[in-house]
Amino acid sequence: MMFPQYYNFPGRRLKNHVIRSANVKNLDDCVLFCYLNDNCVSLNFKKNAELGGIGYICEANNATHLDYDIDLIDNGVFYYHGSKSACGKNSPCQNNAACQSGFTSKGYRCLCPLGFEGENCEKDFYTAV
């Protein structure tokens, strides 16, 4: 998963998709926080006023502005970073499988629901038996 410069938006924040948040020392720590959260594909970043501006708040998102542009709002204190994600509204994963970006040589992996298998969860396990 990559965070290209042209997907960075100062003064913007992706709302409705925050899955975890943490206090971090800098932007690099925030990016690492995102990488360590399997469902993170973008992040919101801002100075933590409660710490006197020496720390930052990092919000990990499970969506990007590419699929939810209406949720990318103006917010002067945040800095939004989007990624190139293989997952999203056009996810290759089938049958309500969870898509996680940044895994395998394909750039994603599918977590199949019970009863399905295959690279993209395309095979019904019970009819294949």
Residue 45, pLDDT above cutoff 90: yes
Grade residue 53 by pLDDT with cuts at 50, 70 and 90: low
Grade residue 128 by pLDDT with cuts at 50, 70 and 90: low
Helices (H), 1-129: 27-35, 125-128
85 half-sphere exposure, CB direction, 13 A CA radius: 28
Asked if 23 and 48 touch (Cβ cutoff 8 Å), the reply is: yes
The pTM is what? 0.78
3-class SS at 18? strand
Q: For residues 129 and 126, give the distance between their C-alpha atoms in angstroms, rounded to a whole number.
A: 5
Mean pLDDT of 43-66: 86
Mean pLDDT of 12-41: 93
Q: For residues 113 and 115, give the distance between their C-alpha atoms in angstroms, rounded to a whole number.
A: 6
Residue 105 is predicted with a pLDDT of 76
113 half-sphere exposure, CB direction, 13 A CA radius: 7
* Average pLDDT over all residues of the chain: 88
pLDDT in tens, 73-125: 999 899 999 988 777 777 888 999 888 877 677 778 889 999 999 999 999 97
